[in-house]
Chains A and B, each alone.
Chain A
Amino acid sequence: MPLHRKHLIDVADFSRDEVELVLDTAEAMRTVLERPIRRAPTLRGKSIVNMFFEPSTRTRISFELAGKSLSADVVNVAASGSSVEKGESLVDTFHTIQALGADLVVMRHACAGAPDLAARHLACSVVNAGDGLRGHPSQALLDLFTVRQHAGDLEGLKLVIVGDVLHSRVARSDIWGFARMGAHVYLSGPPTLLPAGFGDLLDGDGVVRVEHDLDRAIDGADVVMALRIQKERMAGGLLPDLREYARRWGITAARLRRADRRALVMHPGPMNQGLEISPDAAYGPQSVITEQVTNGVAVRMAILYLLLAGAPT
């Protein structure tokens, strides 16, 4: 079954079948990664441009490896700093990329909606690798993939996302993705970083609950996901004290005992150990954090494949 899409911009647009298609394709891609020579010729002759307007190591390398594992030509455009600071408009950059003949652009940008702008100006496919606070769809898909591998079925699972939900594009994409697959999403964190309105996000189409008290939220959870705390949030008056945060919302092995005994521990990285997650949780038996990284390559291979080769001609 092909994916009838040109772009991957927001996982919120994806149907359950489409998510499953990506996850099933990623299973196949994992077998490529387990071969002695981790390379398939599928995307030979296709060129992929990584445009990262925000610093990123993990996601950029993951997309680069994914493209190369499928034999695509991958070019990294160093575009640090905002285009406005450079005096070059983003639209101008798109036209240049277009003229150079890209088949797919992977884009990370500090502004929500920048990939939509790209899709309006580029003839090629656009993959959102994170835009502002809006979304990080490939992260959500790899999180879904990782949980599905362990739990088998996502329906009815209790996922708790903990931390700075307000400023997290990962949280937004995970809310859409997990709720779409039938999981129950609980959000926990300080009220300044988790407005109560998040509980009404879904408009009846799925389950999302806000529970500021983590000990209550985590009760019986199947998956516990910690989000990175940006230390600069304190300056904006959003967090009074980091130690207080760690005490109230930090994920520790002790706290995990309230969750289901097989509960998975996740983190999109990079971690502040001892703050949002303690080492005994991050590296404990329930942690799938390094698996997330490995699965990221397989899921991104699936995304590239479905958009570039899987499309009906």
Chain B
Amino acid sequence: MTAEEPLVIRGGRVLDPSQKLDRVGDVVIERGRVAAIDPPDGQLPLGEPTVIDARGLVVAPGFVDIHTHLRVPGFEYKEDLVSGSRAAAAGGFTTVCAMPNTDPVLDTRSVLEGLFEQVEAQATVRVYAHAAVSLGQAGRQLVEMGGLSEAGAIGFTDDGVPLASSTLMRHALEYAAQLGRPVSNHAEDPALTAGAAMHEGQVSMRLGLPGTPRQAEEIMLARDLLLAELTGGRYHCIHVTSGGSIDLIRRAKDRGVDVTAEVTPHHLTLTDALVAGRTDPVSAALPPYHANTKVAPPLREQADCDALAAALADGAIDCIATDHAPHAVQDKDVEFAHAAVGFTMLETALPLALTLVHDGRLDLATLVERLTIAPARCYGLPGGTLAPGSPADVTIFDPDEEYVVDPALLASKGKNTPLAGLPLLGVVRRTLVGGVDVFDRDAAQPVGGRA
């Protein structure tokens, strides 16, 4: 299939929160763009259109992930642009935003341009990138923010490494403000997280694993929000995990601070109890101390999950981001304290987030909004909409179909999921970027031209 042929996605529930659209209809795509959204079974466009039968399925704008560890350059053994694109497409994401904690770090224009050249040659979904805040993510000297911004950096972050210096954070916010780019930070006070391997609470106490309290996040987040207020800079809160952080974000938003926030599917739905293992269901049994439950910031408690879900529903948290963090077996199959942090998440984000919808805590339209136009707005990205004239980035999914997580079937090189064997609901059936198929669950072979 080429983008030149007209394409009609027929009879699906077209759900596009950017247009407040939620009705059964046909999405007509011409020359890679959305031409119209018609009533169902209307007249087909001229020529010989390809028809995708979407009856019984949801047709949504392609999902936008503003927090993706694509591992390029330097850690291609964990993920590369081919596997990363396939994972994104299989998870319904048509846009991903690479994080800069690579080797070398995305801290200079030439490294960023090198990444974009590889993206051009290998990626099948749209790839944007964050640049580091500090050279080498060492927390001492600012990167060439202007040049990186011109080269396409959508924002600045030392994600993975907390920016300890309040002075540097202040200056980063001041400097980035004139560029209109948000700054974000892995908000965990390093003094309070030193040596920690999980959330500090009853579970860590029982397991004898050093823990880090919520306050490690809240202290640094409070500082960052105060500095955003001081400087007038734009600040984006990444992977918020605690109820206390939400209170801080609400207060900052009320005071008019230019702040947005994201939450991951796993912090919304999983708790620190998982580190002690899972016995139910048997298919998803997980032994205690399994490093596939280790993530930073750590999984917290049910009360935090509840507060995060409520904040996502009411908009205090703007959007969902995956924090997709693929790792190889040898990074994870070590002592818990020494294991790498993070989960492979692109392909499980939708079914995991859908648990909130199936539990009645979030409506489907809001979830789709938090996966599409909302994250796009946080960084001013195009996409996240099916408005006529926009690129035909489309995700077609069945929110009720059973999906059992099987690491072996993940397109990502990272098989590090705490969800293996878990039956969830929600299956991405088909993903299009610019009207071109990049994922088709029914195809025997991976689709998507350049890969």
Chain A residues at the B interface, C-beta cutoff of 8 Å: 12, 82, 84, 89-91, 109-114, 116-117, 119-120, 131-135, 169, 172, 195, 197-198, 200-201
Least CB separation from B335: chain A residue:
A111
Instruction: List 6 contacting pairs A-B, 8 Å CB cutoff, sorted by A.
Output: A112-B337, A117-B336, A120-B287, A134-B207, A197-B205, A201-B206
- B interface, by DSSP: helix, strand, loop or mixed? loop
- Evaluate contact between A111 and B338: CB separation under 8 angstroms: yes
List residues of B (304-348) whose CB comes within 8 Å of A's CBs.
330, 333-338
Q: Judge if B289 is at the interface, Cβ distance under 8 Å.
A: yes
Complex: A132 Cα to B289 Cα, angstroms: 12
Residue from A82, A117, A172 having most chain B Cβ neighbours under 10 A: A117
* Besides A111-B336, A111-B338, A172-B208, 14 other A-B contacts (C-beta < 8 A): A84-B334, A89-B334, A90-B335, A112-B208, A112-B289, A112-B337, A113-B288, A116-B287, A116-B289, A117-B336, A169-B208, A172-B206, A197-B201, A201-B206
Complex: A89 Cα to B210 Cα, angstroms: 22
Residue from A82, A114, A119, A198 having most chain B Cβ neighbours under 10 A: A114
Chain B residues contacting A112 (CB-CB under 8 Å) are 207-209, 289, 336-337
Q: Judge if B202 is at the interface, Cβ distance under 8 Å.
A: yes
- Evaluate contact between A197 and B288: CB separation under 8 angstroms: no
Chain B residues contacting A201 (CB-CB under 8 Å) are 202, 205-206
Give 1 or 0 for each of B168-206: 1 = CB within 8 Å of chain A CB.
Answer: 000000000000000000000000000000000110011
- Evaluate contact between B202 and A114: CB separation under 8 angstroms: no
Complex: A88 Cα to B161 Cα, angstroms: 26
Interchain residue pairs A-B with the least CB separation, the first 7: A113-B289, A134-B208, A133-B208, A111-B335, A112-B208, A111-B337, A113-B336
Least CB separation from A132: chain B residue:
B208
Least CB separation from A195: chain B residue:
B205
Within the complex, the shortest CB–CB distance from B192 to chain A, in Å, comes to 12
Complex: A3 Cα to B287 Cα, angstroms: 21
- Evaluate contact between B337 and A117: CB separation under 8 angstroms: no
Complex: A60 Cα to B202 Cα, angstroms: 31
Residue from A113, A172, A201 having most chain B Cβ neighbours under 10 A: A113
Chain A residues contacting B289 (CB-CB under 8 Å) are 112-113, 116-117
Name the contact of A197 in the complex, choosing from B202, B207, B209, B287 (C-beta under 8 A): B202
Chain B residues contacting A172 (CB-CB under 8 Å) are 206, 208
Least CB separation from B289: chain A residue:
A113
Chain B residues contacting A200 (CB-CB under 8 Å) are 202
Interface size class for chain B? 10 to 19
Name the contact of A114 in the complex, choosing from B201, B207, B330, B335 (C-beta under 8 A): B335
Complex: A197 Cα to B201 Cα, angstroms: 8
Known: A197-B201, A200-B202, A201-B202. A132 touches B209 (CB 8 A): yes
- Evaluate contact between B335 and A109: CB separation under 8 angstroms: yes
Complex: A109 Cα to B335 Cα, angstroms: 9
Chain A residues contacting B206 (CB-CB under 8 Å) are 12, 172, 201
- Evaluate contact between A91 and B201: CB separation under 8 angstroms: no
- Evaluate contact between B338 and A113: CB separation under 8 angstroms: no
Give 1 or 0 for each of B99-115: 1 = CB within 8 Å of chain A CB.
Answer: 00000000000000000
- Evaluate contact between A131 and B334: CB separation under 8 angstroms: no
List residues of B (207-223) whose CB comes within 8 Å of A's CBs.
207-210
Within the complex, the shortest CB–CB distance from B119 to chain A, in Å, comes to 33
Complex: A236 Cα to B438 Cα, angstroms: 53
- Evaluate contact between B207 and A113: CB separation under 8 angstroms: yes
Complex: A182 Cα to B289 Cα, angstroms: 28
Chain A residues contacting B205 (CB-CB under 8 Å) are 195, 197-198, 201
- Evaluate contact between B201 and A117: CB separation under 8 angstroms: no
- Evaluate contact between A89 and B208: CB separation under 8 angstroms: no
Within the complex, the shortest CB–CB distance from B418 to chain A, in Å, comes to 15
Chain B residues contacting A119 (CB-CB under 8 Å) are 287
Complex: A109 Cα to B207 Cα, angstroms: 14
Complex: A171 Cα to B338 Cα, angstroms: 24
Chain B residues contacting A91 (CB-CB under 8 Å) are 333-334
Chain A residues contacting B337 (CB-CB under 8 Å) are 110-113, 132
Complex: A197 Cα to B200 Cα, angstroms: 10
Complex: A82 Cα to B336 Cα, angstroms: 13
- Evaluate contact between A117 and B334: CB separation under 8 angstroms: yes
Least CB separation from B329: chain A residue:
A91
Least CB separation from A116: chain B residue:
B289
Least CB separation from A168: chain B residue:
B208
Chain A residues contacting B201 (CB-CB under 8 Å) are 197
Known: A91-B333, A116-B287, A116-B289. A131 touches B202 (CB 8 A): no
Complex: A133 Cα to B206 Cα, angstroms: 9
Within the complex, the shortest CB–CB distance from A115 to chain B, in Å, comes to 9
Residue from B202, B207, B287, B330 having most chain A Cβ neighbours under 10 A: B207
Chain B residues contacting A132 (CB-CB under 8 Å) are 208-209, 337
Within the complex, the shortest CB–CB distance from B398 to chain A, in Å, comes to 35
- Evaluate contact between B210 and A133: CB separation under 8 angstroms: yes
Complex: A116 Cα to B289 Cα, angstroms: 7
Least CB separation from B208: chain A residue:
A134
Least CB separation from A119: chain B residue:
B287
Complex: A52 Cα to B201 Cα, angstroms: 29
- Evaluate contact between A117 and B208: CB separation under 8 angstroms: no
Within the complex, the shortest CB–CB distance from A177 to chain B, in Å, comes to 14
Within the complex, the shortest CB–CB distance from A106 to chain B, in Å, comes to 17
Chain A residues contacting B335 (CB-CB under 8 Å) are 84, 90, 109, 111, 113-114, 117
